[in-house]
Structure 1
Amino acid sequence: MEEKVIYAILSSKALVSEVGYLPAKQGIYACFLNSQKDLGKFGKNGDVIYVGLAEKNLNCRDIKNHLTSGRTGSSSFRRSLGAILKVELGLTAVKRDLNGSKPRADKYKFIDEGEERLTQWMNKNLKFGYWVNEPSLPKFELRSLEAKVILAMNPKLDLDRRTRSQNPLASQLDALRAICREEVKIKFK
Structure 2
Amino acid sequence: MVQTESATGGWGVGCVVIPHRPSLNSCDHDEVMTMETRGNEARGVLSGVGWSVLNAPEHVGTVPGLYAIHASVQVWGDLGLAHREDIPLYVGKSESSLVERELGQHFAIDPSVQARTGGSTVRRSFAALLRVPLKLRAVPRNKENPERFANFGLEPEGDRVLTRWMHDHLTLAVWPMPEGFSLAELSAVEVNVIRAWTPPLNIKDNPGRLRQLRVARADLAAEAKEWAMTASLVT
TM over 0.5: yes
Q: CA deviation at 1:78?
A: 0.4
Partner Cα distance (1:6, 1:75) in 2: 23
Aligned with residue 125 of structure 2, among 58, 80, 83: 80
Once residues 162 and 180 of structure 2 are traced to their aligned partners in structure 1, the CA distance between those partners, rounded to angstroms, is 33
Paired residue for 1:60, among 83, 87, 100?
100
Q: Write the distance in 2 (CA, Å) between the matches of 1:86 and 1:120.
A: 14
Q: Distance in 1 between matches of 2:44 and 2:201?
A: 20
Q: Which residue of 2 is the match for residue 167 of structure 1?
A: 208
Query: Computing the radius of gyration over CA atoms, which structure comes out larger, 1 or 2?
Result: 2
Aligned residues of 2:152 and 2:220 also touching (Cα < 8 A): yes
1:54-93 deviation per Cα after TM superposition (whole angstroms, max 9, x unaligned): 1121111111111115221111100011000001100001
- Aligned residue identity for 1:130: V
User: Which runs of 5 or more residues in structure 2 are unaligned?
Assistant: 1-37, 109-113, 230-235
Is residue 2:220 matched to residue 1:183? no
Aligned to 2:141: 96
Q: Which runs of 5+ in 1 are unaligned?
A: none
Helix, strand or coil for the counterpart of 1:25? coil
Q: Which stretch shows the higher mean deviation, 151-160 or 173-182?
A: 151-160
2:172 paired residue number: 128
Contact 2:203 2:209 (C-alpha < 8 Å) held by counterparts: no
Relative distance call for 1:71 and 1:45 in structure 2 (3 A) is: farther
Structure with bigger RCO (C-alpha 8 Å, 6+ apart): 1
Judging by fraction of residues, say which structure has more helix: 1
Contact 1:108 1:181 in 2 (8 A): yes
Note the C-alpha offset of 1:32: 0.9
The Cα of 1:44 is off from its aligned counterpart by 6.2
Identical columns (%): 29
Mapped to 2, the partners of 1:14 and 1:178 lie a distance apart of 32
1:94, 1:184 within 8 Å by CA — same for their partners in 2?
Answer: yes
Aligned-pair RMSD on alpha carbons?
2.0
Aligned length: 184
Deviation at 1:46, TM superposition (A): 6.3
Q: Does the CA-based 8 Å contact 2:198-2:209 persist in structure 1?
A: no
- Given candidates 71, 77, 94, the residue that maps to 1:33 is 71
Deviation digits for residues 15-57 of structure 1 (CA, Å, limit 9, x no counterpart): 2232225311110011011344222226468641100111121
1:110 equivalent in alignment to 2:110: no
For normalisation by structure 1, the TM-score amounts to 0.88
Which of these residues, 50, 53, 59, is aligned with residue 16 of structure 1? 53
Structure-2 change in CA distance of 1:52 and 1:42 (3 Å):
farther
Does structure 1 retain, via aligned residues, the 8 Å contact 2:47–2:87? no
The aligned residue for residue 190 of structure 2 is 146
Provide the C-alpha distance between the structure 1 equivalents of 2:177 and 2:163, rounded to a whole number of angstroms: 27
Moved over 6 A (4+): none
User: CA 1:43 to 1:12, structure 2 compared with 1: closer, same or farther past 3 Å?
Assistant: closer
